[in-house]
Chains A and B, each alone.
Chain A
Amino acid sequence: MSDPASASPRSAPPSAWLRSRWAGWFIAGVGVVALLLVPSTYDALYGFQAGFQLHRISLIGIYIIAALAQNVLTGYAAQPSLGNAAFFGVGAYLLAWTNTDLHQPYWLGIVIAMVVCALLGLIVGGPALRISGTYLAIATLGLVLVTQSLLDLWDKTNGRQSYDLTQLPLSLGDDHTLYVFIVVIVVAVLFFVRNILQSRVGRAWVAIRDNEAAAEAFGINLTTYKLLAFVISALLTGLAGALYATWATTASSSSSSADQTIAFLAMIVVGGLGSIVGSVIGAIFVGFLPLLLQQLPAIVSAGPIRIQVTTLQSGIFGLLLLLALIFFPEGLRGIVDRAGLLMRRLLNRHIATGASEGVER
């Protein structure tokens, strides 16, 4: 009876370990190792095509950052802003500018993109304190359109067809390195977002989301915390935009389009509002599924019917999106929650039977 391991299960179920701090770190560690093993797996799978395939999936990482940023703003701080693609485009252009025209080091360009976007987030957040709901969503959508035309104008004024990043560090031109680089940043951002959500700031956002009046009554400064959400979201989206420019080796005003900004919202809606796991799933769904659909055979023929699948891709994506929304109106993270619950139950039963056998012996 002096054995501490046999004493503790009486109060806590065996699966409590899954909820413990160490389990979280363990699972995160396994995940990171798995992600870092992907390049060598791809080498084995695709051979000389591995670089190309890695480059494609690297894009998911960029979308994960953007989705996290949107979720901080919309899912946690409850600001239905559709303006994030503006920061995405500005981030991309700032990196291109510092890199190609100013010949500054790459890291400095990233920092400038993040800082400037954070400041812009503060400027956008100001009016957003007074405008709410659908009005805010459409107003910020307008911001994205304006940003796109202004970026276009900048291109036109300088007479350039495309804004290529010519001074990128050579190592980032390698698809394997770029993949690892993006994975490292995504993990860092996930860690940062998780920590901020578990801090006083995150709790304040949730309180504001759940009941603004009550939060105010408890002494939460609405102005500060809403602005903070805008700033952090813009900063992260600026980072994602800069990474996107790195990934594409060019900055284009289409990164700041209505489609792009609605795609960010679609990611967190399909994944799950107010959930980190949901942001990741949503980014994969919206960012990667269209790429996956491109892999479908171009033409499917069944007897006399020949279907041109290439023209159906966006429709198939729309249908899958619609089905996901109808069956999981709270987001696909519901699947993960259920899987976790199932695993916990299985674990409990397994250990419970194991323990009872032990008693009989």
Chain B
Amino acid sequence: MVAFLQVALAGVVTGSIYGLLALGIVLIYRTTGVLNFAYGAIGAVCTGFMAILMMGPRLPFGLALLGALIFSALLGMGLERSFARPVLRAPVFTKAIATLALALILETVAQQIWPQLSQAVHFSSPFATASVRVGGVYIALIDVVILLVTAGVMVALQLFLTRTKLGIAMRATADNQDAARLMGAPVGNISLLTWGLSAVIAALAGILLASRTGLMNLSFLDPVLILAFIGAVLGGLESLPGALIGGIVIGLLDNLLALILAGHSLGPLDISDPGIRQALIFGGFVLVLLFRPQGLLGQATLRRV
């Protein structure tokens, strides 16, 4: 039972990081219609910036974090102006492939500026070694931080989107851009804000993951990003809580299946292999989509003829 709880907790923690990334993906997708394949690169570049701040000028963790978050907001807004604007009216696939090009450019530029980041570097954090004990379950301090930050981001976003004028304007823009513009919503600034916000979320997710593993390089978020995408779709691409839940479900399932399948084999086939786990999760994911094609929390779209 303790082992189960321990593994479930680890699953929720990794799932929270997928969920955070999924939040940012959904935020951009809903507001600007961009399926952002560069999202991992954005998070990695911001995390790399923080690692450099801690390695080069030897800033303390807190200051470096502040610096990285400001940097991420500026990067996100800069990308909106330089990149998202020109492709705003393009078809959806064109936009998706354009973000792929953006990811290549971002990684190359970052590699030119910080060549040391192309290999894995140590990412130190004050939460690295400490842990607390609740009942029989050990919880690493970083895991507590991850859960708190994720919950904080979700609550703050929800409050912002439902309680503030700007947040409501943002939702209106997501629903219908032309109508929102007619109602006086500052659509251009909202797009700017969305990219800034989602870049900050990407940076947070990257920094949390790097603090947990103690390592990072410029492509360390790429494998995580695909799982975040799957989480976002599982939750329903239209819904922010859905994205978070989707991410957590993926992380939880992955860890629990690892526990259940560990040490078992089917003839010569080692079913504790991550491949089998992935296949099972994917099978479940497709089943969910077959019954709810709009994801767990997405709204069904009516087909008008």
**Residues of A with C-beta under 8 A to B293:** 130-132, 135
Contact at A317–B104, with CB atoms within 8 Å? yes
Contact at A315–B109, with CB atoms within 8 Å? yes
Q: Which positions in A face B, CB cutoff 8 Å?
A: 74, 80, 127, 130-132, 134-135, 137-139, 141-143, 145-146, 149-150, 152-153, 156-157, 213, 258, 262, 265-266, 269-270, 273, 311-312, 314-319, 321-322, 325-326, 329-330
Contact at A270–B269, with CB atoms within 8 Å? no
**Residues of B with C-beta under 8 A to A132:** 293
Tell yes or no: B299 within 8 A of A by CB: no
Tell yes or no: B179 within 8 A of A by CB: no
Majority DSSP secondary structure for residues of B touching A:
helix
| Cα–Cα distance between A4 and B305 once the two chains are bound (Å) | 51
Contact at A153–B275, with CB atoms within 8 Å? yes
Contact at A322–B101, with CB atoms within 8 Å? yes
Choose among A131, A134, A145 the residue that contacts B226 (Cβ–Cβ < 8 A).
A145
Counting chain B residues whose Cβ lies within 8 A of the other chain, the interface size class is 35 or more
Contact at A321–B101, with CB atoms within 8 Å? yes
| Cα–Cα distance between A250 and B100 once the two chains are bound (Å) | 28
Min C-beta distance of A143 to chain B, whole Å: 7
Min C-beta distance of A331 to chain B, whole Å: 9
When C-beta atoms are compared, the residue in chain A nearest to B294 turns out to be A135
Q: Which positions in B face A, CB cutoff 8 Å?
A: 29, 35, 37, 83, 86-87, 89-94, 96-98, 100-105, 107-109, 111-112, 115, 226, 229-230, 232-233, 237, 268-270, 273-276, 278-279, 282, 285-286, 289-290, 293-295, 303, 305
| Cα–Cα distance between A138 and B225 once the two chains are bound (Å) | 12
Contact at A157–B268, with CB atoms within 8 Å? yes
**Residues of A with C-beta under 8 A to B270:** 153, 156-157
Contact at B278–A146, with CB atoms within 8 Å? yes
Contact A143 to B97, CB < 8 A, known contacts A153-B276, A157-B268, A312-B108: no
Contacts A139-B233, A149-B275, A318-B108 supplied; 9 other A-B pairs, CB < 8 Å: A145-B282, A149-B279, A150-B275, A150-B279, A157-B268, A262-B97, A269-B94, A317-B104, A325-B98
When C-beta atoms are compared, the residue in chain B nearest to A273 turns out to be B93
When C-beta atoms are compared, the residue in chain B nearest to A323 turns out to be B101
When C-beta atoms are compared, the residue in chain B nearest to A150 turns out to be B275
Min C-beta distance of A105 to chain B, whole Å: 28
Contact at B87–A139, with CB atoms within 8 Å? no
| Cα–Cα distance between A317 and B107 once the two chains are bound (Å) | 12
**Residues of A with C-beta under 8 A to B275:** 146, 149-150, 152-153
**Residues of B with C-beta under 8 A to A325:** 87, 90, 94, 97-98, 101
When C-beta atoms are compared, the residue in chain B nearest to A124 turns out to be B286
**Residues of A with C-beta under 8 A to B278:** 145-146, 149
Interface CB pairs A-B, < 8 A, 25 = A131-B290, A134-B237, A135-B294, A139-B286, A141-B229, A141-B230, A142-B285, A146-B278, A149-B278, A149-B279, A153-B269, A153-B270, A156-B270, A157-B269, A262-B37, A269-B94, A269-B96, A273-B93, A315-B104, A318-B103, A318-B108, A321-B104, A325-B90, A326-B87, A329-B91
Choose among A130, A131, A139, A270 the residue that contacts B97 (Cβ–Cβ < 8 A).
A270
**Residues of B with C-beta under 8 A to A153:** 269-270, 273, 275-276
Most interface-central of B35, B96, B303 (chain A CB within 10 A): B96
